Amino acid sequence: METHKVVDIINTRDTVEVNRALEKYENLRVISRDRGISYQSIEGDYIHIADRFHLIMNLSDKIAAEIKKTIPHKIPVGFEEVRSKFAEPNELSNSSNYAALSVATAKKIDLIKQVKKLKSQGYSQKDVSEAMKIDPKTVSRYLSMKDIMLGAQYPSRKRDSYLEPNKELIMKIYLEKKYVVEILEELKKRGIYAKSSALRDFISKKLSEKDYAKIRAIYIDRRDIINYIFSWSHRPIALDHIKDIFEKHKVLSEYKRFYEYFKSCLVRLKRDDFIEILEKEYSCKLIDRFIYNLKKDYNAVINAVTYKLNNGLLEGHVNKLKKIKRDMYGRASVDLLRKKVIYQSIFKL
């Protein structure tokens, strides 16, 4: 641990085999390890030290996993108005817009073209009507169309939604609450009942109205929240909304405070403060379960803040060592793998 070099590898995690391998080192006094069951059960008069790197990683993994269960992947934090690129009427005749039309409109355009083609071949309107099985008045209307793509457009439905009388209230709540579930609950309190699918469709249509303008929701990625808690790099835009999100989800602040204090005591070897952390009771279930599991390996965990020795520095080479194992998997014996790992550690890592 002082040289941060690999001196040997063991080809098993079996407790008996690990014990047997460690007995070869008669001067072995300290074992710095993660808190795996196979390593906790090692016999012998050794000083067990829980690796600080793994302790911090265990906590961050548990917090991140809990956040992923309770916080949506995308968190709405506001809205912005953007210009939509709606096509002007005279642009519909452009052939490049044909692919963007609905299936029904595309079929109607083909039908109009066939009607015009038959008429140009000398057929009467009556013959065209009978051949295409459409009303003579429709044939006349198709023949009089100068702009086929414009004339083929189906008129939009004008029927108002049953939610229309409550439009102002719904949009006001939407801008404040953001979540459809919360809007439904708020409407229910006011004696207004609606289906979630109908409400989503209604809001979507309303957001696309008003002078071709559209309100677009601004979202913060859940990853930004996780990164902020652990002081990892995150997008600057997230900072503008962190307080609001933490205000809504109170437990996030508790996670951040505990993580920072736990890490600080561990890294700075504040033994007394760290013992207080382990002895304290917590209302937060996640933190309480985490501390409970640490107490199962109490001596090794306390030794993590008692001794400076730590195998965390070797962890920086783990990916390189794993690459060696992947490269040689199925191609070499354990003995050859051991020699290559040790050689790489001594001369190259």
Which of the listed CATH numbers 1.10.3470, 1.10.10, 3.40.50, 3.50.50 matches domain 89-151?
1.10.10
Residue bearing the bigger pLDDT, 134 or 330 = 134
| Two tokens, residue 125 | 């309107």
Model confidence pLDDT, tens digit, residues 287-307: 999 999 999 989 999 999 998
Nearest to 263 by CA among 204, 211, 321, 305: 305
8 A C-beta contact, residue 229 and residue 79:
no
8 A C-beta contact, residue 75 and residue 237:
no
8 A C-beta contact, residue 74 and residue 222:
yes
Q: Which sign does the torsion angle of CA 26, 32, 36, 41 carry? A: positive
Q: Which residues pair with 325 in a beta bridge?
A: none
Model confidence pLDDT, tens digit, residues 25-34: 888 888 887 7
Range with top average pLDDT, 30-44, 128-142, 214-228: 128-142
- For the cut 80, the answer to whether the pLDDT of residue 343 exceeds it is no
With a pLDDT cut of 70, the percent of the chain lying above it is: 72
Q: Look at residue 131 in the predicted model and tell me its pLDDT.
A: 84
What is the helix (H) or strand (E) element at residue 149, kind and residue range?
helix 148-151
What single letter denotes the amino acid at residue 30? Answer: V
Q: Residue 330 has what DSSP assignment?
A: T
Q: Which residues pair with 217 in a beta bridge?
A: 79
**Could you state, in order of their start, the residue ranges of all structural domains in the chain?**
15-59+266-347, 75-84+160-220, 89-151
What does the buried/exposed string (b/e) look like for 109-142 if buried means 16 or more CB atoms within 10 Å of the residue's CB?
A: beebeebbebbeeebebeebbeebeeeeeebeeb
Model confidence pLDDT, tens digit, residues 79-123: 666 544 434 444 444 444 444 456 677 788 888 888 899 989 888
Residue bearing the bigger pLDDT, 261 or 100 = 261
pTM: 0.58
